[in-house]
Structure 1
Amino acid sequence: MIRKIPVRDLLPGMYVVDLHKRWLEHNIWRQHFRVRDDGQIARLVEEGIVEVSIDTARGLDVAQPERPKSPPPGSQYRSLADLKASRPRQVSLAEERRRAVLLLREANDHVVDLMQAARGGRHVDAARLEPLIGRMLESVQRNPDALAPLARLKQSEHYDTEHAVATAALIIAFGRQQGLPAPEIEKLALGTLLKDIGQAAIDARLIGKPGMLSQAEYSVVQSHVEEGLAVLEATVRLPETAVAVVLEHHERYNGCGYPYRMAGDEISLAGRMAAIVDTYDAMTSERPYRAALSPSDALRQLFDQSGSQFDPALVAAFVHTVGVYPVGTLVMLESRHLAVVEQQHADNLLSPVVRVIYHAGRRQYVEPVEVDLARKVGNHYGQIVGAESYERWGLSPLRWQPA
């Protein structure tokens, strides 16, 4: 039974199914969850949640008399101290970008080697990716705005390998936003790095063919999913989560995907998450058959397709992960200035910190200046009108990436 109650009546053990507040107006990523403790309830109150709906079939009802006891005073603080000590220290964006550049180069080299091994019928040593994935997770923990935005800027002819690395970086950030434990995130990233290895068995001219594919050609391309699993199963035993990513990243929420036409919750959480990051990175990448979309346009398309192609709750959470205007996006301000998004505000995704670099009306560079669009005073440029293309204005996305 679904019951709406004031948030003050919420108890640990209840199962929340609706926060009754638009997802852009709060920083609670999960819409369906079991309440763990009083601290989680306090967090809901801090985020301005006034009432919630609970599912009494999946958790406690308001009639339950027993309220779980809070941990003894001090134990919580010791736990929080231990948690803080176990996390990598936070570093500046500039410092983490320097590390991320080298890390991405190494990751691409590893995936290229594995793809070549698969193409040559040799052993695919997926175990060599595990230390690399651990370092990618640490990078995102130190500063989440370095690795994934950099990975989106593909620079070579190896789209398949760069796409694999970019989606791994995205799913690490996505997994952290979902509150998944580190070992589970590492399995997601492993599956994402390996998910397209079956393309080694397909003619590269077909993968990158401009224009529409014939039905026969499309069937061949679809076969890369099961081809990939066959290659991997012959050489390595993957964890279940990684296998789900490989098999299900092209399944769709409405059952129109492939290879098994799974639908809704038949698709694992790993598969539903992988479908979103795979599609987002593909849409924001230049391909022989179409131009790249801006990150915000890609997010808009994902949002439009939520509930049909993609899990709507996960799409909303993914937007929170990367921001409505992801770091590195070129945007137009009300003043007709162009600016690059430098930093997100978790509680105000529409008003990030930007660096103003160009005047679109005069078509000339201006002295770069950092502006916090969330500030009520000191902003003479107005708010964001929309996302823009670097190519349209003849600007280099590499040059103007945040440092």
Structure 2
Amino acid sequence: MSQLKRISITKLTIGSYVQAVSKQLSSVKIVKTGWVRNKKAISELKREGVIEVIIDINKQLETAQKDEATEKESQQKKITKSFEQELVSAKKLQDKMNTLLEATQKRILDNAPIDILALEQVAESIINSVTNHPHCLACLVRINHQKNSILEHLQRVAIMLAQNMVFHKVSFSESVAVVLAGLTHDLGKLLLPVQLQQYEALLTPQLRQKRLIYVKNTIDILKVSGGTPQLTLKICYQQMERLNGSGYPKKLTADSLPKISKLFAIIDEFDSLTSGFEGNKIALIDKAHQALMLQSPTIFDKNLLQSFIKTTGLYIAGSLVKLKTGKIGYIKEFKHEIPMKPIVHCFFNAQFDHHIEAKDIDLSGEFINDSIESTVDPKQFQLNLSDYI
């Protein structure tokens, strides 16, 4: 006997039996019935603009759930690669992110639905890249930082979220939803009136409060486009909530906020501080960590902040540092058990103010008598880091 249930496309799982399509974006009626046997089938429904389906819960394929679990597990057991091996793929992925987010921006400004499926696929690629090498993509994107735009901010936040998801071995499907939130959480800012598109640091307190409407804008964009996971929507909606209840829009306190929303707030604020996004004076990595620590545990969760620092590093990949010998280079990668001794790609000598032969220095090496003195601003030495990767 049939037992029908109406569900969102985001809750459709492998093994479900689709009786009918009940809601869609397209004006052309889509007729799809039968079992969902793989992830590709769900992706095709999303691509065709399906938002809601009717399933028969008495026709669930028992083996499908095992197949789905096996598929996700295999995706998380990818062979790790060296920095150089992953760099080629990472560069292609960065180009893909730039192209897709620019197209997304255009569609938003044209009041058209955005391609959630394409963004979801990029989120999967980010997770796969971070699984292959935890620091390569992060290093590349930070080094190629140019416009200080909303779109660049979305990329950096998404990658740091992926690093945390992979490090803590969060399930692949949940990780995708979290990283997708990173790629989309500020899209609503693109619809703000011109006077509110200024950097937040330049606005009056009254205009800053008014500017928070971008959170609602973001949710509207995601809902109209269809197919956005509920977890993604929840994170985007709670992105400006703070532990002491001073946030927006519901003034939720620590007890009411899920762990992922607390972590998201830390990562979002960290990138704003270290990139100068939102008009803040650019803070060096150690100063940004200190600023966040000073706001914990009242604004940010102290334990999650410490976990974030452990995951992304005391000196995050792509940041510029000066060694005690005067050499300058960017953080290439590090081992989590010895974060103070990363591999630094050196190419300049501050003491003599000239370039040197570029080479990697592994500060954890047995015969290396050098260490990090400080983080530095590339502008201080007029360095364009993208020339050295």
Q: TM-score range by the shorter chain?
A: 0.7 to 0.9
Q: Is residue 103 of structure 2 the alignment partner of residue 87 of structure 1? A: no
Q: 1:240 to 1:84 in 2, by over 3 A?
A: closer
The residue aligned with 2:367 is: 378
Equivalent residues of 1:148, 1:170 under 8 A apart: yes
Instruction: Give 1:325 deviation, angstroms.
Output: 0.9
The residue aligned with 2:229 is: 239
Equivalent residues of 1:202, 1:220 under 8 A apart: no
Q: Is residue 174 of structure 2 the alignment partner of residue 201 of structure 1? A: no
Q: Is residue 389 of structure 2 the alignment partner of residue 397 of structure 1? A: no
Moved more, 197-206 or 341-350: 197-206
Q: 1:156 to 1:170 in 2, by over 3 A?
A: same
Q: In structure 2, what residue type is equivalent to 1:357?
A: F
Instruction: Give 1:115 deviation, angstroms.
Output: 2.7
Q: Which runs of 5+ in 1 are unaligned?
A: 1-81
Q: Which of 360, 375, 378 in structure 2 is aligned with 1:387?
A: 375
Per-residue CA distance 1:368-401 (angstroms, 9 max, x = gap): 34332223x4223x32121111111122221234
The residue aligned with 2:23 is: none
Instruction: Give 1:205 deviation, angstroms.
Output: 5.1
Equivalent residues of 1:152, 1:284 under 8 A apart: no
**CA–CA distance in structure 2, aligned partners of residues 372 and 240 of structure 1:** 43
The residue aligned with 2:305 is: 315
**CA–CA distance in structure 2, aligned partners of residues 304 and 350 of structure 1:** 22
Equivalent residues of 1:154, 1:162 under 8 A apart: no
Equivalent residues of 1:241, 1:270 under 8 A apart: no
Q: Which of 281, 306, 330 in structure 2 is aligned with 1:340?
A: 330
Q: 1:232 to 1:85 in 2, by over 3 A?
A: closer
Report % sequence identity.
20
Instruction: Give 1:263 deviation, angstroms.
Output: 1.7
Q: 1:325 to 1:157 in 2, by over 3 A?
A: closer
Q: Which of 75, 96, 99 in structure 1 is aligned with 2:86?
A: 96
**CA–CA distance in structure 1, aligned partners of residues 200 and 295 of structure 2:** 24
- Secondary structure of 1:284's counterpart equals helix
The residue aligned with 1:213 is: 203
Q: 1:396 to 1:278 in 2, by over 3 A?
A: same
Instruction: Give 1:204 deviation, angstroms.
Output: 4.6
Equivalent residues of 2:328, 2:348 under 8 A apart: yes
**CA–CA distance in structure 2, aligned partners of residues 340 and 314 of structure 1:** 26
The residue aligned with 2:177 is: 187
Q: Name the count of aligned residue pairs.
A: 318
Compute the RMSD of aligned alpha carbons: 2.4
Instruction: Give 1:289 deviation, angstroms.
Output: 2.9
Q: 1:119 to 1:337 in 2, by over 3 A?
A: same
The residue aligned with 1:271 is: 261
**CA–CA distance in structure 2, aligned partners of residues 233 and 356 of structure 1:** 46
Per-residue CA distance 1:272-316 (angstroms, 9 max, x = gap): 121122112222224473443233332332233231221111111
Q: 1:166 to 1:198 in 2, by over 3 A?
A: same
Per-residue CA distance 1:314-358 (angstroms, 9 max, x = gap): 111111111101122222222233233222021111111223333
Q: Which runs of 5+ in 2 are unaligned?
A: 1-71
- Secondary structure of 2:386's counterpart equals coil
Instruction: Give 1:222 deviation, angstroms.
Output: 0.7
**CA–CA distance in structure 2, aligned partners of residues 96 and 276 of structure 1:** 27
Q: Is residue 143 of structure 2 the alignment partner of residue 143 of structure 1? A: no
Q: Is residue 247 of structure 2 the alignment partner of residue 257 of structure 1? A: yes
Q: 1:258 to 1:185 in 2, by over 3 A?
A: same
